[in-house]
């Protein structure tokens, strides 16, 4: 949310809503994983979607990209994309770094990135060389097969691949999962850099403490429903909620 004050007139506010989800229900066959949730992300914000295993976080991401069957409304930059095919959503600028940092293990780092850029139209492609400036570690390993990278490097590659098409919004599904604490720190620091560059981010995490630090607004999902929401500051003040979020009671 940006706030501006005119020279003489009263303060006026405007926000640019990038993504909003209204009454979203997500289904896997007969199973309903998400039960009518609503949330929004303004341009330039980092919004966190937190919650325990099975809460419906990945299902929500899959509904935004169009992979999972869903009802309700998904609005992206003012357009209803609820019925838009997956490819067209990617073309519009929705990009995902999937859960479990799925990279193509037998392809090199560079080949993985080329696949990421193949999904975008040619005008928005970033040159791969330019990209290695931002991710020097990937540059050093550009000819190495992705399966031989460390977990942290694979996560960076998964994020880099999602970024190479210059998305309007980046959906990150549990980027810190299964990584050593030091590497988790590096991944969150990278996400902080992306946020500072103005990239709009939906951050799905179980690591509540780190995600709260980065996020402008937080939704806590449990059993497919939003159990709590607020600014990181306001949620951080609730000991009960923090115990639930972090699994420590």
Ligand X SMILES: Nc1ncnc2c1ncn2[C@@H]1O[C@H](COP(=O)(O)OP(=O)(O)OP(=O)(O)O)[C@@H](O)[C@H]1O
Q: Residues in the site for Mg ion, rule: CB under 5 A?
A: 57-58, 99
CB atoms within 10 A of CB 181: 9
- Min dist CB 86 to ligand X, Å, is 16
Is the CB of 58 or the CB of 176 nearer to Mg ion?
Answer: 58
Stretches 8-16, 53-61, 159-167, 188-196: which one binds ligand X (CB under 6 A)?
53-61
Q: Give yes or no for a contact between 116 and 135, defined as CB atoms under 8 angstroms apart.
A: no
Q: Give yes or no for a contact between 11 and 17, defined as CB atoms under 8 angstroms apart.
A: no
Site string for ligand X, 184-213 (x = CB under 6 A): ----------------------x-------
55 near ligand X, judged by CB under 6 A:
yes
What residue number has its CB nearest to Mg ion? 58
- Rounded to an integer, what distance in angstroms lies between the CA atom of residue 29 and that of residue 110? 37
Question: Which H helix or E strand runs over 32?
Answer: strand 31-42
- Min dist CB 149 to Mg ion, Å, is 22
161 near ligand X, judged by CB under 6 A:
no
User: Would you state the structure tokens that stand for residue 6, as one six-digit string?
Assistant: 């005119």
Among 28, 69, 197, 213, binds ligand X (CB under 6 A): 28
Size of site (CB under 6 A) for ligand X: 14
State whether residue 173 is helix, strand or coil: strand
53 near ligand X, judged by CB under 6 A:
yes
Residue 31 contact partner, candidates Mg ion, ligand X, none, CB within 5 to 8 A by sort of partner: ligand X
Q: What is each CA distance from 96 to 35, 63, 215, 243, 246, in whole angstroms?
A: 22, 12, 18, 29, 24
């Amino acid at each position: 949310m940006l706030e501006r004050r005119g020279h003489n007139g009263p303060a006026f506010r405007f926000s640019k809503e990038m993504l909003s989800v209204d009454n979203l229900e997500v289904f896997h066959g007969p199973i309903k994983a998400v039960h009518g949730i609503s949330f929004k992300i303004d341009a330039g914000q980092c919004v966190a979607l937190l919650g325990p295993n099975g809460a419906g976080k990945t299902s929500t991401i899959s509904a935004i990209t169009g992979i999972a069957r869903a009802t309700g409304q998904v609005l992206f930059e003012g357009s209803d994309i609820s019925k838009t095919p997956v490819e067209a959503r990617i073309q519009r600028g929705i990009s995902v770094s999937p859960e479990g940092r799925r990279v193509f293990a037998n392809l090199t780092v560079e080949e993985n990135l080329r696949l990421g850029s193949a999904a975008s139209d040619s005008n928005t492609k970033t040159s791969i060389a330019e990209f290695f400036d931002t991710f020097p570690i990937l540059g050093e390993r550009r000819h190495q097969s992705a399966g031989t990278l460390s977990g942290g490097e694979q996560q960076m590659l998964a994020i880099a691949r999602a970024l190479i098409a210059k998305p309007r919004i980046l959906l990150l599904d549990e980027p810190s999962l299964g990584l050593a604490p030091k590497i988790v720190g590096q991944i969150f620091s990278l996400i902080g850099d992306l946020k500072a560059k103005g990239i709009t981010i939906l951050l799905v995490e179980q690591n509540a403490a780190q995600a709260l630090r980065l996020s402008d607004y937080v939704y806590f999902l449990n059993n497919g429903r939003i159990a709590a929401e607020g600014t990181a500051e306001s949620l951080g003040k609730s000991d009960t909620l923090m115990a639930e979020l972090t699994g420590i009671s």
